[in-house]
Amino acid sequence: MVPPIKTENLTKVYKLGGKEVRAVDGVNLEVPKGSIFGLLGRNGAGKSTLIHMLMGTVLPTGGRGTVLGYDIVKESLKIREKVGFMPEGLGFYEDLTAEQNLMAIARLIGLKKPKESVRECLKLVGLWEYRQRKYGEMSTGMRQRLGIAQALLKDPELLVMDEPTSGVDPDGAREFRRLIQELNKQGRTIFISTHLLYEIGLLFTHIAVMRQGKIVVQGSVSGLKEKLMAGQGYVYEVELSEPSQVIIDRICSLNGVKEAILEGNKLVVLCSKPLAPTLLSFLKGYGVESFRLTKPTLEDIFRKFSG
Amino acid sequence: MKKGLKALEIARVEFGNIVRSNKFLAIVAIFTLMLLSGLCRVTEPSAATFEVPSATTHEVERVESDVKLGLKVMNAIGYSVLMLVPVVAVMLGFDVISGKVEKGIVRTLLAQPVFRDHIIAGTFVAGLTSLLVGVAMPLALSLSLAVLLLGITPSLADVALLITYLGVVAVFALAYYALSVFFSTVTGNSVKSLVAGILVWLFSSFMLPSLSTAIIRLLLGPPKFEQVQMGQMIVLRTDPDYMRKFTDLQNKILSLTLDYHFRVIQDQLLLGPGIKDYTGLLVLIAFSLATLIASFTVFVKREVR
């Protein structure tokens, strides 16, 4: 099966003031079908350039790539026919209404039933009531929803969004998450670039982290968390009803335990390998009230790899 | 959808957006008002009326209606057209490309199956149509009113003259519009583009005519006079040879501006027997085409950053 997005050594070099800037540097990316894929990285990491190369609006300097099986250089028009694309900072004609703007795009795409498609998309993003409102009079949240609506007009199997939640308030971000989950349930692959993890981070099934134009890590979120734990260690948090300082030395003598700290009745044990059963049986006599493995968050992964 | 149709679809939407905008309506309203106020001058008695000695009322009326229509139009709105058309064109063109980039419309359009040349071609078509509407509509309205106010029934030749004049004004507007679009494309910034357009207009219309006399004076030295006997009096007259050189040099310097070429055609059309020398018109058309092609090339080659 052809992955929705696949790149091999994709590179973009800009010349700025006589100097070469490698905005995207030998990127190998593979986005699994049906995933919600997060392309993460700080501002200027090269995310937008990569996305524009995928959509054929920026020509690569080297390497190759396909989107839905189409070549990003030779078949960019086909890609933009099939893929719902919401670029960062998109805008519409300010003196036209939401409906007029979408109708214009529907005609541009060449939809067979533009009116029906526009109505469906406006309803899906919750803008049907505001269809007669001019774009210039819309709030940021409404504008963002109109941006999603234009991307959905093609009924795409792949949706590509560049920083879709920047400038959106918490309510808008929540509504956006709901919509993305709904679209993903319909079987669509969703590719989102962002640096705002707290807003949409929980949605991602897969991520890639970009740093200075390079992909430094990619994979499924659960797999990456496992990897991080294996590298940094497994942290167990235990609450004890009968804590004792004696316990520290004894636990540290166990094979695989790197460090143990007791603060009040809370014991934190850092291990180099999974040790849950060993620790539980060892702590039996100290009144274990709760026992949990502290998993790294997406932010931990992002911080470790984004530099 | 075919390539040409995509550009036309963009043009259709763009034109709809332009004519609905407050900016466009304000420009057309102000231009119309200025032309109409200029028209009020046709109701004043013209100089030609007083040149007829001991004329009766009947004779005065006859002479006034005999004044060439072109001269009346020139007297009424010639100066306003020369001053205002560039401003209207600059105001309509300064954000044609930069505004679309700044507002993210180019990004939205490029997210669809269109190329950059579709976008700029559509933008040109929409812009030129709106320019034609924005300049020709108020002008046609004013000229029609002028004819009505003068109480004359225009002959076929008069109608032909007015239509030709509209065409010439449209070409003049196109030249300034193309220049403004070029600034808009190259700078990618509406404020810079507006400032550049207005500066060119100020330089061409006000600064260079004054500067040219200073430059010529530097080149030719102070004016030379000759004494001429007029009856009992001896008057000083500027040396005709000096004046000829002065005018030649001034025309050469001013020919660097768009205004000069328009004025030459306007004078031929409205004050003379008709257009005999098409150089000015060709210069305006060539300039417009060259700047539009340059804008097209710059826009198509530029990438989204």
Question: Does the pLDDT at position A283 exceed 60?
Answer: yes
ipTM for the complex shown: 0.81
Domain ranges in chain B are 3-221+258-301
Question: Whose CA is closest to A162, among A236, A88, A247?
Answer: A88
Region A172-197 average pLDDT: 89
Q: How many CB atoms lie within 10 A of CB A177?
A: 16
pLDDT tens across A64-119, in order?
999 999 999 999 999 999 999 999 989 999 999 999 999 999 999 989 899 999 99
pLDDT tens across B24-63, in order?
999 888 888 888 777 666 666 655 444 444 445 444 444 4
Q: How near does any CA of chain A get to the CA of B133, in Å?
A: 18
Asked whether the beta carbons of A305 and A216 are under 8 A apart, the reply is yes
Q: Is there a contact between B108 and A77 if contact means CB atoms under 8 Å apart? A: no
What percentage of chain A has pLDDT greater than the value 70? Answer: 100
Q: Which residues of B238-266 are buried (b: 16+ CB within 10 A; e: fewer)?
A: eeeebeeebeebbeebbeebbbbbbbbbb
A273's tokens: 């390998």
- Secondary structure class of A185 (helix, strand, coil): helix
Helix axis angle, B258-266 to B156-187, nearest 10°: 180
Closest partner CB to A94 (pick from B1, B103, B109): B103
Q: Domains in chain A, ordered, with CATH?
A: 5-220 (3.40.50.300), 233-306 (3.30.70.100)
pLDDT value of position B68 = 65
Region A41-45 average pLDDT: 88
**How far apart are alpha carbons B160 and B154 in whole angstroms?**
10
Establish if B17 touches chain A: CB-CB under 8 angstroms: yes
Q: Residues of A near B (CB-CB distance < 8 A)?
A: 49, 52, 55, 57-59, 77-78, 80-81, 85-96, 100, 104-105, 107-110, 147, 150-151
Q: Edge-to-edge strand order for the sheet containing A189-194?
A: A84-86, A158-162, A189-194, A36-40, A206-211, A214-220
Closest partner CB to A80 (pick from B20, B107, B111): B111
Please state the φ and ψ torsions of residue A68, each to the nearest 5 degrees. 55, 30
**How far apart are alpha carbons B190 and B23 in whole angstroms?**
14
Cα-trace Rg, chain A: 24
Residues from chain A that touch B12, judged by Cβ atoms under 8 A, are: 104
Please state the φ and ψ torsions of residue A38, each to the nearest 5 degrees. -105, 120
**How far apart are alpha carbons A79 and A61 in whole angstroms?**
19
Question: Whose CA is closest to A109, among A146, A76, A154?
Answer: A154
pLDDT band at A16 (very low <50, low <70, confident <90, very high): confident
B93's tokens: 């063109």
Mean pLDDT by 10 residues, chain B (305 residues): 80 92 89 78 55 46 53 71 88 92 93 92 92 85 75 76 86 94 95 96 91 88 79 80 89 92 88 84 96 94 71
For tokens 């934190």, the residue is: A268
For residue A150, is it left (φ>0), alpha (ψ between -120 and 50) or beta? alpha
Establish if B9 touches chain A: CB-CB under 8 angstroms: yes
**How far apart are alpha carbons B238 and B225 in whole angstroms?**
4
Asked whether the beta carbons of A53 and A67 are under 8 A apart, the reply is no
* Distances in whole angstroms, Cα of residue B271 to Cα of each of A43, B85, B266: 64, 20, 8
pLDDT value of position B63 = 46
pLDDT value of position A121 = 94
